[in-house]
Amino acid sequence: MARIVMKFGGTSVADLDRIANAAKRVKREVDAGNEVAVVVSAMAGVTNQLVSYVDQTSKIYDTREYDSIVASGEQVTAGLMALRLQEMGVNARSWLGWQIKIHTDDVHGKARITAIDGSEMIERFGEGQVAVIAGFQGISPLNRIATLGRGGSDTTAVALAAAVKADRCDIYTDVDGVYTTDPRIVTKARKIEKISHEEMLELASQGAKVLQTRSVEMAMNHGVRMQVLSSFEDLPGTLVVAEDEIVEEQIVTGIAYSRDEAKITLVNVADKPGVAAHIFGPLADASVNVDMIVQSVSADGKKTDLTFTVGKTDVERAVKVLEDNHHEIEYDDLLADSDVVKVSVIGVGMRSHAGVAQTMFKTLAEKGINIQVISTSEIKISTLVAEEYTELALRALHTAYGLDAE
């Protein structure tokens, strides 16, 4: 017997037939003698509809009202899932965030879970009852509904798994696992059997959209074993586990890419102390997140070029901030380029193997792809290249690191 949290995303509960299909998977786990909690998203499209109502009603909206409106989508799915399970003879009931309770902070619209009281659910597991939980929502210190931000149901599932000490947190979705890279681009991409939390976190942060970054982070911190698998096919998925559970390590586990960034270059900035603060301080004040940063070596020790990346949606704001601060920053020219892609190679094996970066640079050079910016972490190397090379770069790197399926 195991205790399992099963999470179904929007496409997995898109309509009543799909809810019924998901319910069958729940029943299978129950019939196998497991204790089960189910976390559901809103039916696909519902959240967008509700968000559009809000956008049409108010330009700068009260996020507490936004949360109360948008959270209703998951409330409906939770009730329908409980009813469907009952109809199949499974003892089940729905739980809303304020009933459990799932406590959050008061940052409405992107709240963080602060505590979950799993005691009543655990008691009911003992009576054979399945808990069906509305994902994406909790209750704020002031008794208002607070949502966790887009994709927040993954986080609900992992937080719940930690709270009830579940053996596994299964994330059912419309893909059948985590791949070495995007299989729509690289046909030889392989499904990864097991991946460490840390690698999954890097993959997710670097552009792989299969899991919400925060949920992986939480799973890592609480040692929650996750599985990503398909709602529609009976295939084993990808296990996301602690590193020590992985026996045979690859040097490189996966290759991610992100088209969501843009490059900004300040030409001929004064090369003197404090200039970086003058640039990145105002950007931070304007809530512009800066990712990669590179500063060229200054030829004469007086002027240098500074390049960095920001989110594509933040480019206009960033440019305005820099122009407004022109007199303080002192640059000759400001260039913004949105036609870039960030390609990242990820693997815990990098820690113990030299030459991984060299392979990346050599492979890209052989294909005539110019690297614009480089950044690295302990288990990741990211390069910024022109967007038109996305597919070429991914395929070449996938082969170079020996990831191609046979």
Sequence ranges of the binding site for ATP: 7-10, 173-174, 179, 184, 209-210
Residues from 318 through 357 that contact a copy of itself (CB under 8 A): none
User: Does 64 interact with a copy of itself (rule: CB under 8 A)?
Assistant: yes
Tell which one of 44, 76, 294, 392 touches a copy of itself (CB under 8 A).
76
DSSP state of 167: S
Q: Smallest distance from the beta carbon of 346 to a copy of itself, in angstroms?
A: 40
Q: How far is the CB of 307 from a copy of itself (least distance, A)?
A: 41
Q: Which of 56, 184, 248, 354 binds a copy of itself (CB under 8 A)?
A: 56
Q: Using CB under 8 A, which residues numbered 15 to 54 contact a copy of itself?
A: 16, 19-20, 50, 53-54
Q: How far apart are CA 166 and CA 2, in angstroms?
A: 8
- CA-to-CA distance for 47 and 400, rounded, in angstroms? 41
Q: How many CB atoms lie within 10 A of CB 64?
A: 16
Q: Which residue has the tokens 């294909």?
A: 367
Q: Which residues pair with 227 in a beta bridge?
A: 170, 239
Residue placing its CB nearer to a copy of itself in the complex, 74 or 261? 74
From 3, 21, 79, 250, residue interacting with a copy of itself (rule: CB under 8 A): 79
Give the nearest distance from C-beta 43 to a copy of itself in angstroms.
9
Between CA 233 and CA 210 the distance in angstroms is 16
Q: How far is the CB of 32 from a copy of itself (least distance, A)?
A: 24
Looking at beta carbons only, is 91 or 377 nearer to a copy of itself? 91
DSSP 50-102: HHHHHHHH-SS--HHHHHHHHTHHHHHHHHHHHHHHHHTT--EEEE-HHHHTE
What distances in angstroms separate CA 171 from CA 45, 125, 227, one per listed residue? 19, 20, 6
Nearest residue to 350 (alpha-carbon basis) of 193, 191, 220, 198: 198
Sign for the CA dihedral angle at 236, 249, 201, 217 comes to positive
DSSP string, 354-383: S-HHHHHHHHHHHTTPPP-EEEEETTEEEE
**Contacting a copy of itself (CB under 8 A), which of 31, 62, 117, 366?**
62
Residues 134-153 that bind a copy of itself (CB under 8 A): 143-145
Please identify, using beta-carbon distances, which residue of 67 and 176 lies nearer to a copy of itself: 67
Q: Which of 68, 295, 325, 375 binds a copy of itself (CB under 8 A)?
A: 68
Q: Which range binds a copy of itself by CB under 8 A, 90-98, 111-119, 229-237, 355-363? A: 90-98
Q: Which of residues 277-316 bind a copy of itself (CB under 8 A)?
A: none
Nearer to a copy of itself, 145 or 166 (CB): 145
- Check binding of 80 to a copy of itself (CB under 8 A): yes
DSSP strand pairing (3-8 vs 35-40): parallel
Amino acid (1-letter code) at residue 393: A
Among 82, 171, 329, 381, binds a copy of itself (CB under 8 A): 82
Q: Evaluate whether 174 touches 11 at the Cβ level (below 8 Å).
A: yes
Nearer to a copy of itself, 56 or 352 (CB): 56
User: Residue 204 carries which side chain, given as an amino acid letter?
Assistant: A
Give the one residue of 21, 44, 65, 290 binding a copy of itself; rule: CB under 8 A.
Answer: 65
Question: Binding site for substrate: what residues are annotated?
Answer: 47, 74
Task: Give 61 or 320: the residue with its C-beta nearer to a copy of itself.
Answer: 61
Q: In 239-333, which residue ranges form alpha helices assigned H by DSSP?
A: 275-285, 315-324, 326-329
Q: Is 59 in the site for a copy of itself (CB under 8 A)?
A: yes
Residues 98-127 contacting a copy of itself, CB under 8 A: 98-99
- For a copy of itself, how many residues bind (rule: CB under 8 A)? 38
**Options 14-22, 167-175, 184-192, 274-282: segment touching a copy of itself (CB under 8 A):** 14-22
State the minimum distance, in angstroms, from the CB of residue 50 to a copy of itself.
7
| Structural contact between residues 405 and 189, judged by C-beta atoms closer than 8 angstroms | yes
Q: Which residues contact 306 (CB under 8 A, 6 or more apart)?
A: 265, 266, 269, 275, 276, 279, 293, 294, 295, 296
Q: Which residues bind a copy of itself (CB under 8 A)?
A: 16, 19-20, 50, 53-54, 56-59, 61-62, 64-66, 68-69, 71-73, 75-76, 78-80, 82-84, 86-87, 93-94, 96, 98-99, 143-145
